[in-house]
Amino acid sequence: MEEKFMREAIKLAERAKKKGEVPIGAVVVLNGKIIGKGYNLRTRLQMATAHAEMRAIDRACKKEHSWRLPEAELYVTLEPCPMCMGAILNARIRRVYFGAYEQKGRSLTDALANANLLNHKVEVVGGVLEEACSEVLTSFFTEMRAREKAEKERKKAKRAAAEAAKARRAERLPKK
């Protein structure tokens, strides 16, 4: 069952990737049914909070007419950031499944999930379809770096051509 819902999150991550966003997807599940979906749209919306998890939780809360989702589970392709873990804790989500580990903040998820910040604790399960989730992210950043390198080379060639044209014009000017 975990893999089924993670595959849905991966599909959402692919949608984010097609829009040029960092490919992260999330679904909120209640009683075996998806009640909220989201994918990263930070760049397109220019909103720091437009993370996949936040968007999925918002939709689930609206559908359930409650900010509390104590029986719900969240599936997300990348280990949640501290902001998203805060929303998960506040929504009282009981379990989080994530795919790829966030290398920069790996211990934060467990620390926040088990902190005595609230009366609620969340169970966290990492590494669900980890390879597939990691591949979506890796391919995105590889393609992005290749595009950036090509753009940099194009600009460099354009500057060189402009400088060469300027030098040719200078050679044609009469000398005083």
Binding residues for Zn(2+): 51, 81, 84
Given the residues 53, 148, 151, 171, the one annotated as active site: 53
Angle between helices 2-18 and 130-172 (to 10 degrees): 10
Identify which of 26, 79, 17 has the alpha carbon closest to the alpha carbon of residue 44.
Answer: 17
> How is residue 171 annotated by DSSP?
H
| Percentage helix, strand, coil for the chain under 3-state DSSP, each rounded to 5 | 50, 15, 30
143 is catalytic: no
Q: How far apart are the first and last CA of the chain?
A: 84
Catalytically active residues, by annotation: 53
